[in-house]
Amino acid sequence: MDSGKRKSNFLIFMTDQQLGTTQQSKGPAYMPNLERLKRHGVTFQEAYCPSPHCCPSRASFFSGLYPSEHGIWNNIDLADAFSHGLNDGIKLFSEDLKEAGYQMYFSGKWHVSAEEGPGDRGFGPWIYPPQEGRYKPWKRTPFMGDWDWLLEEDDIALEEGRREGEISRIGFPQYSQYGVTENPFGDGDVVSCAEGWLENVSNDEPFCMYVGTLGPHDPYFVPQQYLDLYPDESIVLPESWKDQMLDKPNLYRRTRERFDQLGEAEQKRSLKHYLAFCSYEDVLFGRLLDVLERRELLEDTVILYVSDHGDYAGAHGLWTKGLPCFKEAYHICSVMGYGGIKAEGTVISQRVSLLDYAPTFLELAGILEADNMETDNGEVKWRFSGRSLKPFLEGSIPERWRSETYTQSNGNECYGIQRSIFTDEYHLVFNGFDFDELYDLKKDPDCMINVMEEPGYEAVIYDLYKKLWKFAYLHRDALGDPYITTALARYGPGIIRTAKREMKGFPSA
């Protein structure tokens, strides 16, 4: 990564809903192509997204900001979403790369804004699927598009009864959690398009290619050959699968009730299909590596394999993602390799955020200085809430690196305020819709026992709340409403008043 050399190309392969532990060597998922990347790169084993939802996390990936800063909180395609587009003044790293002369390619899932497409944010003219005419200004007046399924679906359940792998929901479309299909979600087409571009990409200017697949998102339908990689006897549900969550918010139990319709054998089949889906995505990723190798572009390209958020994958009896604030929904895959990376083969244990990639790409491209610092009328400010990972890629640890992970969620369409902080020792969850949670991770790494009301933890709770409120203040998260029926936290933001001077410095998160 010598700055005197030609600018690096970038290949970004983002999967949807892939749990971070699936990237572990000799872990639960068979992913030989990702192993190939790990040998020639850096594995971030403690990488996290800021929200357990596609749209806010993808907006954070491209902007380097938290949802409270970029303005995307929910599924931007729904009429009742809090926001349909990015806040004014938000710039994505793709726009910087375009301005710097990069050839910009985009294939697959966008889900950053319903008002704009990738072509409005630096990508193009190479975009698949075509986006022309799709994006429009949104109005606050609700429309009936969200009810189209009611008029168009032919398989709405009107009576009880379920088949193997199904979850019965009277009045809703039938839902099968797993099954067999070829080319799930059209991911093969997305990668084929990217392959074609890589075969013909010009060497005259550097390129950035984003490939966004939908797997291993639920429902977990995969080609049979990938299921054959996982013998039934090899599938083991997480230890926390037995957790009935009696000491946790009622929404958690209400969510679990859906999946409790699936017996233990069916839940193991769900996990088998999920892991097989990860293997399928690995094969698609390998096809792109093969093209780069064939064209002798590997050493000129920085490659990122990353997921937008995780999947409970059976933890606490849950699947997919959502408000239950467990690590599995936030823990993501993250491997960065090739392109002259000095620290190849390294496994990084420091906490990394999905927000860190935007400043990383721009620093590697020579567009931004280290630490994303800008000046405004002589005053230092920070464009990104994430920080560049370049030092890790070169074999060093950046100064003042974060020791906590913070999350922000207002719910996945079934709304509810939820914020949390993960440290190496504790996990505190503020639930605006229910009682809070505290887990002692040294004693209880699977978060089976909520110790929020147990004696001996009050000083810990106070300290974590103080960190949480400081984070909210630094990142413009407007949670400081003191109204009597909305200010339900055990400790309010006033506990950080003594830290005002400290908060003027670089964000601790």
| Pairing outcome for strands 437-440 and 175-176 | unpaired
Encode 427-482 in three state secondary structure.
EEEEECCCCCEEEECCCCCCCCCCCCCCCCCHHHHHHHHHHHHHHHHHCCCCCCCC
Cα distances (Å, whole numbers) of residue 471 to 326, 359, 379, 452, 507:
19, 20, 21, 21, 8
**What is 9-139+181-404's CATH superfamily?**
Alkaline Phosphatase, subunit A (3.40.720.10)
Helix 32-39 with 264-294: angle, nearest 10 deg = 50
pLDDT at 508: 46
Closest to 205 (Cα-Cα) out of 123, 105, 103: 103
Bridge partners (DSSP) listed for residue 127: 106
Task: Check if the beta carbon of residue 86 is closer than 8 Å to that of residue 70.
Answer: yes
Residue 440 tokens read as: 């002692």
The pTM score is 0.93
For the chain, 509 residues long, give each residue's pLDDT as a single digit of tens: 444 467 899 999 999 999 999 999 999 999 999 999 999 999 999 999 999 999 999 999 999 999 999 999 999 888 788 889 999 999 999 999 999 999 999 999 999 999 999 999 999 999 999 875 556 665 555 566 667 777 776 778 777 778 999 999 888 888 999 999 999 999 999 999 999 999 999 888 999 999 999 999 999 999 999 999 999 999 999 999 999 999 999 999 999 999 999 999 999 999 999 999 999 999 999 999 999 999 999 999 999 999 999 999 999 999 999 999 999 999 999 999 998 899 999 999 999 999 999 999 999 999 986 455 555 555 556 789 999 999 999 999 999 999 999 999 998 888 899 999 999 999 999 999 999 999 999 999 999 999 999 999 999 999 999 999 999 999 989 887 887 878 888 998 888 876 554 555 444 44
The token pair that represents 60 in the structure block: 């954070």
- Per-residue pLDDT, 507: 45
- Taking each helix axis from N to C end, the angle separating 264-294 and 187-200, rounded to the nearest 10 degrees, works out to 10
**Tokens encoding 180:** 């067999």
pLDDT of residue 21: 97
Handedness of CA 349, 354, 355, 356 (dihedral sign): positive
- Beta-bridge partners for 9: 301
Q: How far is CA 441 from CA 309, 386, 423, 429, in A?
A: 21, 25, 9, 13
Enumerate the domain spans of the chain: 9-139+181-404
Beta bridge partners of 42: 336, 346
Question: Buried (b) or exposed (e) across 216-245, using 16+ Cβ within 10 A?
Answer: bbbbbbbbeebbeebeeeebebbebbebeb
Residue 150: predicted pLDDT: 78
How many other CB atoms are found less than 10 A from the CB of residue 385? Answer: 27
Beta-strand relationship, 207-212 and 9-15: parallel
